[in-house]
Amino acid sequence: MIDLHTHTFFSDGELVPAELVRRAAVAGYRAMAITDHADKSNTAWLLSNIVDVVDEFGAANNMQVLAGVELTHVPPQAMADAVLLARDQGAELVVVHGETIVEPVMPGTNLAAIKSGADILAHPGLITPEEVQLAAEMGVCLEITTRKGHSLTNGHVAKLAAEFGAKLVINNDAHAPSDLLSADLVRKIVLGAGMTDEQYLQARKNSEELVAKAKG
């Protein structure tokens, strides 16, 4: 299992990074990214606390751990600069908090994230066909999420991704130990979104490729 969207108590998660990594390893995960909520005000601070420890924690638990951020409620016009700032501060993975239907995310966030070259657009809600097509062209992965609320539009995202050939990844958006789901349950959630087993396996492969690229 791979989860490229997780949170520690540096934002709204429950665990310190070391415990989050340990619990993920015990749960059977072999790679993960720590992606606490960020905007321009805290990106440098967050990454300064993560970048230098992820390899140590990963090695201790026989897994790969990426240092990342989830750019959250960043105004669309500021997104490109926020993505660049995160990369300049050492982010190995940049996730953007997409236009989920259960939060008041600014309209235009999905498009700005894609145009800015984020790695993953998380829970993109009722993303438009045009945005999905652009994500496919730019290689930005769209997230299928197991998280309550955000997952309500998984079927919509999966359908458009299949239509336009956009890459999907599957994440838990883990904030607590109970969010680290088993592979069997994750698969059932994915199938419930209308995806096939072949698409599920391809999404897992897409996550593996992001990890390999980050650690390459």
Domains of the chain: 2-215 (3.20.20.140)
pLDDT at 216: 84
24's torsion region: left (phi>0), alpha (psi -120 to 50) or beta? alpha
pLDDT at 193: 96
pLDDT at 191: 97
Pairing of strands 141-145, 2-6: unpaired
Amino acid present at 76: P
Model pLDDT for residues 117-134, shown as the tens digit of each residue: 999 999 999 999 999 999
The length of the chain in residues reads: 216
- Pick from 186, 166, 184: which is nearest to 174 by CA? 186
Pairing of strands 120-122, 93-97: parallel
- Report CA-CA distances (Å) from 184 to 1, 23, 73, 118, 197: 10, 18, 32, 29, 12
Mean pLDDT across the chain: 97
pLDDT at 173: 97
The whole-angstrom separation of Cα 34 and Cα 129 is 29
H helix and E strand count, the chain: 9, 7
- CA geometry: angle 173, 86, 169, nearest 5 deg: 35
Q: Please, are residues 150 and 123 in contact by the beta-carbon 8 Å criterion?
A: yes
